[in-house]
Amino acid sequence: MKAKYRKSLLVLAVITIVLAGVVSLFASSQPDGLSRVAIDGGFDEKEKASWTYALMPDYSLPWLGDHWLGSAISGLFGLLVMGALVWLLFKWMAAKRK
């Protein structure tokens, strides 16, 4: 990869990481679609708050409590997971092309 592109990709990666960590702090506290259906249906009380069912329930880290750091870390974790999946997809597509 050319040095010019490498530098651009590095700058974009840093911007993306900062945005994922900061913008996740401003996510709406209102329930999303599935949560709203559960509330309207009256079965929201039955949900299980266990790490075996949800690693990061409500986009936070349970052991940190209701702390801004948990939201930032879960935003970064989501970014890393999606980035890894996209990277694997591109690798698979490149290998298939050859």
Q: What is the pLDDT of residues 29-64, one digit of tens each?
A: 666 777 788 888 888 777 665 556 667 766 777 777
Q: What is the mean pLDDT of residues 6-22?
A: 84
% of the chain residues with pLDDT over 70: 80
> What is the percent of the chain with per-residue pLDDT over 90, rounded to a whole number?
9
Place of tokens 């990709």: 9
The position carrying tokens 């401003």 is 26
Higher-confidence residue: 29 or 88? 88
Provide the pLDDT for residue 88: 94
CA distance 40 to 46: 13
Residues 38, 32: Cα–Cα separation, whole Å = 10
* pTM of the predicted model as reported, rounded to 2 decimal places: 0.59
